[in-house]
Amino acid sequence: DTAVSQTPKYLVTQMGNDKSIKCEQNLGHDTMYWYKQDSKKFLKIMFSYNNKELIINETVPNRFSPKSPDKAHLNLHINSLELGDSAVYFCASSHPGGNSPLHFGNGTRLTVT
Amino acid sequence: AQTVTQSQPEMSVQEAETVTLSCTYDTSESDYYLFWYKQPPSRQMILVIRQEAYKQQNATENRFSVNFQKAAKSFSLKISDSQLGDAAMYFCAYRSGGSGNTPLVFGKGTRLSVIA
């Protein structure tokens, strides 16, 4: 019973391509997130959605477009991939309220060549 | 904006010994929560322990405990009886309180090695 699942686990693609990462959670959480973990392991918030509505967009290039068809899904589409987009992308979800921890997916390692 | 600082990029500990990982944070908020997450080589992000800022009592979870010093804005993690499986990246994280949907703000992590 995977709580937060992301696909694919690995993604290797060439510069200029468009790719998507899918995320689904079965925890009944209202809020979902995308984080980027760079090569130095730093985790930075990219987007946050609550009940399908965007609530946080942390100055991410507009080549990145999140889409939430329902509150259990938050997909990330990336256009015109660049070398600097290579990273691990984590999806997470939580209940509202600061005391609720985030539950993370296992990450998608994106490699742009 | 809140910031989280982990000043030890790497630490090592002998198996069965105790190690403490440091974390400080900066905030002007009075209502917040603090977390430690573990990331083993498998890449999973695993919640280790959480602390409510309004609680003076330090949180404990089995071999893991925290030393929460609110005035000093310090939140260190102590791992007792270290095991080989404790080897991982450890991230300290901050989340604003209230009923909102604020994200976690992470420190840069500490890589912990456990020596057999």
A1, pLDDT greater than 70: no
Does A65 reach chain B within 8 Å, measured CB to CB?
no
> What is the average per-residue pLDDT within A98-109?
92
CA distance A5 to A92: 9
A53, pLDDT greater than 80: yes
Cβ distance of A56 and B39 shorter than 8 Å: no
Cα nearest neighbour of A49 on chain B: B101
Q: Which residues pair with A46 in a beta bridge?
A: none
A2, pLDDT greater than 80: no
Which stretches of chain B drop beneath a pLDDT of 50?
none
Cα nearest neighbour of A40 on chain B: B108
Cβ contacts (< 8 Å) between B95 and chain A: which residues? 98
Backbone angles phi, psi at B50, to 5 degrees: -135, 155
Does A72 reach chain B within 8 Å, measured CB to CB?
no
Cβ contacts (< 8 Å) between B97 and chain A: which residues? 97-99
Selection from A16, A53, A8 nearest residue A31 by Cα = A53
> What is the average per-residue pLDDT within A84-108?
93
Contact between residue A24 and residue A70 where contact means Cβ atoms under 8 Å apart = no
> What is the average per-residue pLDDT within A63-92?
96
Mean pLDDT lowest for which of A9-13, A50-54, B37-41, B66-70?
A50-54
pLDDT of residue B14: 98
Cβ distance of A42 and B98 shorter than 8 Å: no
